[in-house]
Amino acid sequence: MVRVAAAAVVSSVVLTSCGGSGDDEDAGDGGGARKAGRTDARAAENLKRIPDVGDRLQSRIPKNSRQVVAVYGEGRNSADATVVLYTKSAAWKKTRSWPAHNGKKGWTPNHRENDKRSPVGVFTLSDAGGVLADPGARLPYTESAAFQAPHYWPKTHWHDFDHVIAIDYNRVKGTPPNDPTRPQGQRKGGSIWLHMDHGSGTSGCVSLSKSGMRYLLRTLDPKLRPVVVMGDKASLRG
């Protein structure tokens, strides 16, 4: 378990790039009604490759990666998704799955700041953190009150960032998830995270249950080179 000193400051740009945006007044508990963290009946099935991911994205998964978080979006303009964890020894195996949400406007291969869509692609997973104490994460974890969602957001969003895992999109690896540095510039957006679900779409992140987040934090191991493969189903297959 790796612990990292808490970040003292987080910019408002970082928070508004991810999770609830304060204008999502209709957020409910629709995601909570679905069972999270279930073990699939196919978990023991040996797989030669990540299912339903075409050659284009499959080839971007590093050959030394032994953990893949696949995010299967329901549609290009849908906020509903499923998160599946695959692990590899001799072959890939489906380990766990959870109902999830993505950007409230769906997906895009060319993400821009505030477009309310999640980026399609393959990204490494290097750093974690949140408002709550480290639950036993293997990734470097930054505990800080600076992750706290603003309280002018709806109450349903206040705990979005209790636990987060940074998706390495337009960010500097090895820094806390709320580091505001944008190597490709501010227009390309950033602060794309896995974080806790509030029952509806996000501003570009992927959200799942608290139990799912805690499982991923305790399971994703930097020695196994974890990555996320994410997008709507059609884009993933393309």
Q: Would you kindly state where each structural domain of the chain is located, as residue ranges?
A: 64-237
pLDDT at 33: 39
pTM of the model: 0.86
Residues of the chain below pLDDT 70: 1-45
**What does residue 33 show for φ and ψ, rounded to 5 degrees?**
-75, -15
Supply 146's token pair: 């600076």
CB within 8 Å of 17: residues ≥ 6 apart: 113, 114, 189, 190, 191, 192, 203, 204
Half-sphere CA count of 57, side-chain side, radius 13 A: 28
CB atoms within 10 A of CB 11: 13
**Euclidean distance between CA atoms 148 and 204, whole angstroms:** 17
pLDDT tens for 118-133 read: 999 999 999 999 999 9
The answer to whether 91 touches 63, Cβ cutoff 8 Å, is: no
**Euclidean distance between CA atoms 54 and 220, whole angstroms:** 24
pLDDT at 17: 55
**Euclidean distance between CA atoms 147 and 159, whole angstroms:** 10
The answer to whether 163 touches 177, Cβ cutoff 8 Å, is: no
Specify whether the backbone of 109 is left (phi greater than 0), alpha (psi in -120 to 50) or beta: alpha
User: Would you say the C-alpha torsion 167, 173, 176, 179 has a positive or negative sign?
Assistant: negative
CB within 8 Å of 45: residues ≥ 6 apart: 93, 94
Tell me how far apart the terminal alpha carbons of the chain are, to the nearest angstrom: 38
pLDDT at 18: 67
pLDDT at 137: 98
Which CATH number describes the domain made up of 64-237?
2.40.440.10
pLDDT at 2: 42
Position of tokens 């599946």? 84
pLDDT at 37: 45
pLDDT at 163: 98
Count Cβ atoms within 10 A of the Cβ of residue 221 and give its class: 0-12 exposed, 13-18 middle, 19 or more buried.
middle
Buried b / exposed e along 67-102 (16+ C-beta atoms within 10 A): bbbbbbbeebebbbbbbbbbbbeeebbbbbbbbbbb
**Euclidean distance between CA atoms 8 and 23, whole angstroms:** 27
